[in-house]
């Protein structure tokens, strides 16, 4: 599995990825050129600077997952990914060692909502 990382991650994070995957670190693609480079990759790991547009997702012939290291998905076209069957995930506490204090309040709401059961 080929993974493209377009922004700086910690050495420890990159080492974990490299244990199981072929990882390319290409920070120059965070600004432009991503759509032209994404085709051979199965996964894309970004932070906040990389814009994962519909064009990028459409060009991702092998793309299966977009992972956002950090809070939010405002730089990822989630609708385009959903249409293509590309999974979008985020790791809100991945950018800080103070995980509880930086966790997004919406995560707690999502967990609470997912526990609710509806009856029909």
Separation between Cα atoms, residue 16 and residue 65, nearest integer Å: 17
Q: From first to last of the 120 residues of the chain, give the pLDDT tens digit.
A: 999 999 999 999 999 999 999 999 999 997 789 999 999 999 999 999 999 999 999 999 999 999 999 899 999 999 999 999 999 999 887 654 444 433 344 444 344 434 444 444
Q: Is residue 35 part of a domain?
A: yes
Q: Which two tokens mark 16?
A: 């974990």
For residue 15, give the H/E element and its range: helix 11-20
Q: Is residue 102 part of a domain?
A: yes
Question: Residue 120 falls within a domain, yes or no?
Answer: no
Q: Is residue 75 part of a domain?
A: yes
Cα–Cα distance for residue pair 4/14, rounded to 1 Å? 11
| CATH of residue 44 | 3.40.50.720
Q: Is residue 92 a part of any domain in this protein?
A: yes
Classify residue 96: in a domain, yes or no. yes
Q: How many domains does the chain have?
A: 1
H or E stretch at 109? helix 105-115
pTM of this structure = 0.77
Domain that holds residue 101: 2-115
């Amino acid at each position: 599995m080929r993974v493209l990382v377009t922004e700086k991650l910690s050495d420890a994070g990159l080492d974990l990825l490299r244990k199981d995957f072929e990882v390319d670190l290409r920070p120059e693609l965070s600004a432009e050129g991503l759509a032209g480079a994404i085709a051979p990759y199965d996964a894309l790991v970004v932070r906040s600077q990389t814009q994962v547009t519909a064009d990028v997702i459409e060009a991702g012939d092998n793309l299966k997952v977009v992972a956002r290291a950090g809070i939010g998905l405002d730089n990822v076209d989630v609708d385009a990914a959903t249409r293509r069957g590309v999974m979008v995930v985020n790791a809100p506490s991945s950018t800080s060692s103070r995980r509880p204090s930086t966790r997004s309040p919406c995560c707690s709401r999502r967990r609470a909502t997912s526990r609710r059961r509806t009856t029909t």
